[in-house]
Chain A
């Protein structure tokens, strides 16, 4: 951490808190959770893990996105407070009057869905976020909305019942927010003035970094020049990895450059038979995108098993690549889909195959002054194709993989024309099983071929042991994942015969 000489740049943020306009001068390092608990003495939003894994600090962020107001749950422990600038922060304290209860709150009480109460505000906000976006959720939607909230008391049955009760009770989601909160929607429309700073004496030992919020790439390049003069800098996109490092390992930088408002990094579109996914596109945006659903169902399957709703609402796909985790579910999936990344800097753009992007553990092609502008996916060829994704972790949801794999097979009849197979968690970075891919190309699928391919894949990697799994286990998983993928493929191309697997 770099310390300045006893001075601190307070960010002067303006936002709405539960319908009320607020202006605050904050140390740029603080999270929304710290702002609520420590600066505003609002204790309803709870701190329990400080790394986005328990959901006790869930809040809703209202913001203008693509011409409409969106309401999304986020973990306030991972949401830098400076990002509130120009947005509407909704907390558990703001959704009902003093002597009233919100329907979500009543349902939890009716089903006895609170015991010690510490996780409860987070569940209230996650349930509210769910019903605001989807007044008639199915069981899968409910599970997805609540998988990011831990409760150690209830065993969840009563909370699930409360969600089902709400489903019956809520006819329309229009009145799920008090009118004072709804009114803010009109105000959110206006463009925000830029974030200003106030230089003050640093008496409380805060990390002294400064945040930049460029609106365009050209502004971004200027910010980089400015930052280089004052010390280190780091880009922040979704922030769901970076903020964990800040909260838990106390890793800080002199300057943070927030990419989330850079307009060139937005959007999903098809150009020249390729799907272009902007660097700022969140996992939630991808999950609900029609083009992604149509061409890359594998991507949807993968994202559904990644993190929680709160994380998916802020985390970007590009961040999953930039972070360079060896077990990145997104990057592993993209490898199978033969993705390319467009890296942008002040010198211009360059395109790199994702398979050539990784150099070593946490070392990539990405230079410090480059950002991931676009993730490019070639649309599948005219051949028939089959896609598979498989994740092995200790828990069914919100867990980091021990081993993850993705497969894209192009085929004619029973014959594999091309197979792309990628693994995460078995090498220093997500990697393809190249020998196995070569071996499978041109072969006709059969039980024997599956066995051979699975053993070949197993021989291609030498996984290590860590808290997510021992090397022997991981090695067996490589083999078994491939058996599962290829057997499912076999079933898909020969549905009449079926299979025992």
Chain B
């Protein structure tokens, strides 16, 4: 087997030598920020007096909204979010004031001296209540096709119900942080925990009332983000930027874990109501669904997240008559935000629940119902995008084969017959995940490449490295174009001076957009080098060559027909410099053919889809509610992968993260809107013991017509969907407690408590 390159920064990571934000040598005069976080979820500020805090000897400044030189507004999609609230507090944990001191402990002391007086207002936390009160950021959105009303009327069977999914804390290992360093004049450099350099730059420029070109964003890497720094990092970046601008000193903003969990938004909880019509084979003919997203205090990305939930409401199933209505509702929780999947997991969870319900009602195997409804080539999605390519059935066939489905089902039935305190369940889910930002304008990116005199390469893209290895993939693309070794390449921090106007690294598009931009830049240089190599090798070969006769591989340029005649890459680079040929290039890429009309709900929002399916077998303990994943089989289409290990790491990482969402990750809040699981001692993300006993991942690498960079497909988010199979498998295991064919009332997430209480409910019905 070909030895794959290590993680491009792996050697630094394993030596503890890679630098995250705030780990460089501290600049002279650094100030540390500590915040007054709102103790209430909804209130009017009557008094915010910082004078006593100011008087403390080591306090350099106490900053409130009054110190903002520009506009007190950090909203991006909607202008609804102040940096500091002036009048109305909107969520518990909202920063109200910032103390700066050279000594963090002194700043902590000073925060306690800020006097806050407020009048409490009635908060809303529940999405249905918010919906009833029409607390919507924007009016209801719709996607519609066929005639749902009619089709429901004509359907052989109908079902209706409510499906709920809960929030999820990102728990990136590196909390929100930013270093802001003032330069000359108004200039400011931010080393910020953000996935969106352009957004922070633009928003901060308004806050400070200066032009964008004064602000430099530089992001080397993030210690995990998962969407939690796509938008949520902007607040902390702007606070650091404001503090540095006002004090003219370097400032560090760094949240403690408890502060981070308390004050930042989470995955959107969804409440969904549906009506579905189907025939006796389980073929769905009509689907009417209302998706309600609990958006929290400010719009943030909620509208786009709701939109993606709507785009994925039918998941992998062709349904001729569909009405999808979506409303994102304002509540008094910290602004819920992007999280891997971006609404799609929530939308998909609804239809997958319905499939299970239909199978239960018709006494069919849920897998059969899924197969009956899967998309076929030539179908259209409800928003009008044609399904040009889909091999979902083939993927399902592979899944059945890999898992030995028929035997597995029998084993489970046998096990459940023989055991009363342990039960097993299996479930499958498919995924059809749309790739591209649904806000079409974001689908663009740039890359800057320099080849230096020794033949080493420096690449900057707008892509933010956060563990997904966009940097490794970009390097692989350039290495492949220029035929050079991976080790020659350095991928730099994402810096707004080298690559401006960068779209967020999000929506799984990081490698497609930035990889393609880097490819285009590398191809420009390759074209120049090919001409030069042709002229150099013409002499040696004593024949007239042109650029098209030249190929690049193994750190050499050579004649295609006569590979023995070659010039080494470093030699060629020196020759190019000497011949005054440019060794730098800027590449620009805009994803073709993506568009969507929000008024009509029609368009072609995605460049392509990623498909796959998974099967999970779990065992539950009916006395304790504990669950264990026995088997996981994942069949995932990657196209020809740029790097098998990276993609496998994304698939398994996403699956385990989603398993956490569906099972143990429980983040309740109290009646005042205060999150209760503020640390990893109470908020449990999966640990190494939660890895399934048997985990089989098959990457389907056959070429896809609709793919992206060098034929590969995006991989960050789609496999998150597979984790939902864990929840359904658990529910199926619980149903085995009953001798009847029932769908247990299992809460989300399926904690041991939820499982045990669902079992208790069944037992009580029996008795």
Contacts and interface: CB of A to CB of B under 8 A. Distances in A.
B694 to A, nearest CB: 11
Contact of B679 (A51, A149, A476): A51
Contact of B680 (A51, A111, A205, A468): A51
B676 A156 contact: no
Interface stretch (A101-109, A213-221, A330-338, A437-445): A101-109
A54 B16 contact: no
A122 to B, nearest CB: 9
Given A155-B653, A467-B682, A120 B687 contact: no
A118 B223 contact: yes
B753 A469 contact: yes
Interface stretch (A88-96, A224-232, A353-361, A370-378): A88-96
B678 to A, nearest CB: 9
Interface string B12-25: 11111111100101
Given A248-B679, A396-B690, A469-B753, A154 B653 contact: yes
Given A117-B223, A147-B687, A394 B752 contact: yes
A117 B467 contact: yes
Interface stretch (A9-17, A398-406, A411-419): A398-406
Interface stretch (A42-50, A256-264, A271-279, A340-348): A42-50
B645 interface: yes
Interface string B565-609: 000000000000000000000000000000000000000000000
Contacts of A364: none
A152 B421 contact: no
A45 B16 contact: yes
A116 interface: yes
Contacts of A500: 418-421
> By CB atoms of chain A within 10 A, which of B15, B175, B257, B468 has the most?
B15
A111 B645 CA distance: 8
A43 B421 contact: no
Interface stretch (A180-188, A289-297, A477-485): A477-485
B277 interface: no
Contacts of B12: 117
A105 B7 contact: no
B103 A124 contact: no
A213 B687 CA distance: 36
B258 A147 contact: no
Interface string B618-657: 0000011110100000000000000001101100111111
Given A46-B173, A392-B626, A476-B760, A150 B685 contact: yes
B308 interface: no
Interface in A230-275: 244, 248, 250
Contacts of B563: none
Contact of B757 (A120, A248, A473): A473
Nearest to B107: A205
Contacts, number: 257
Interface in A115-172: 115-121, 124, 143, 146-147, 149-160
Nearest to B105: A205
Contact of A50 (B256, B468, B648): B256
Contacts of B421: 484, 487, 500-501
Contacts of B175: 48
Nearest to A153: B467
Given A48-B175, A109-B6, A477-B756, A114 B688 contact: no
Nearest to A482: B623
Majority-rule SS of B interface residues: loop
A394 B666 contact: yes
A160 to B, nearest CB: 6
A390 B624 contact: yes
A50 B104 CA distance: 16
A117 B104 CA distance: 26
A118 B173 contact: yes
Contacts of B420: 500-501
Nearest to B684: A395
A397 interface: yes
Interface residues of A, number: 83
B657 A152 contact: yes
Interface string B101-114: 10111101100000
B197 to A, nearest CB: 18
A250 B222 CA distance: 28
A323 interface: no
Given A116-B466, A117-B467, A500-B419, A477 B682 contact: no
A300 B384 CA distance: 62
Interface in B227-258: 256-258
A350 interface: no
Given A54-B680, A93-B17, A158 B645 contact: yes
Contact of B221 (A116, A121, A124): A116
A462 to B, nearest CB: 18
Interface in B647-700: 648-649, 652-657, 664, 666, 668, 676-677, 679-682, 684-691, 695
Majority-rule SS of A interface residues: loop
A317 to B, nearest CB: 20
A165 B12 CA distance: 20
A400 B652 CA distance: 27
Interface string A462-476: 000001111011001
A115 B648 CA distance: 12
Nearest to A37: B23
A53 interface: yes
Contacts of B688: 143, 146-147, 149, 151, 156, 159-160, 397
B11 A101 contact: yes
A175 interface: no
A483 B759 CA distance: 15
Nearest to B9: A117
A46 B655 CA distance: 25
B655 A155 contact: yes
Contacts of B218: none
A93 B15 contact: yes
Contact of B17 (A44, A56, A155, A481): A44
Contacts of A50: 256-257
Given A117-B9, A390-B624, A112 B646 contact: yes
B626 to A, nearest CB: 7
> By CB atoms of chain A within 10 A, which of B258, B652, B684, B760 has the most?
B684
B652 A154 contact: yes
B311 interface: no
Contact of B7 (A49, A112, A124, A151): A112
A435 B105 CA distance: 52
Nearest to A124: B14
A41 B24 CA distance: 8
B7 A115 contact: yes
A112 B6 contact: yes
Contacts of B101: 205
B751 interface: yes
B15 A101 contact: yes
A493 to B, nearest CB: 18
Given A116-B221, A118-B173, A120-B14, A206 B105 contact: yes
Contacts of B172: 116, 118, 152
B16 A112 contact: no
Nearest to A106: B14
Nearest to B469: A115
Please name the 9 residue pairs, one residue from A and one from B, whose CB atoms are nearest each other, closest first: A44-B16, A116-B467, A118-B223, A117-B13, A155-B656, A92-B16, A115-B467, A205-B105, A53-B680
30 contacts: A41-B25, A43-B23, A48-B174, A53-B680, A92-B14, A96-B15, A105-B14, A109-B10, A109-B11, A110-B6, A112-B10, A114-B10, A117-B20, A119-B173, A150-B680, A150-B685, A155-B655, A157-B695, A158-B648, A204-B105, A248-B256, A250-B108, A390-B624, A394-B753, A395-B687, A397-B688, A399-B684, A470-B753, A500-B419, A501-B420
Given A112-B4, A116-B223, A116-B467, 9 more contacts: A51-B679, A93-B17, A109-B14, A112-B645, A116-B224, A117-B467, A118-B172, A155-B656, A469-B753
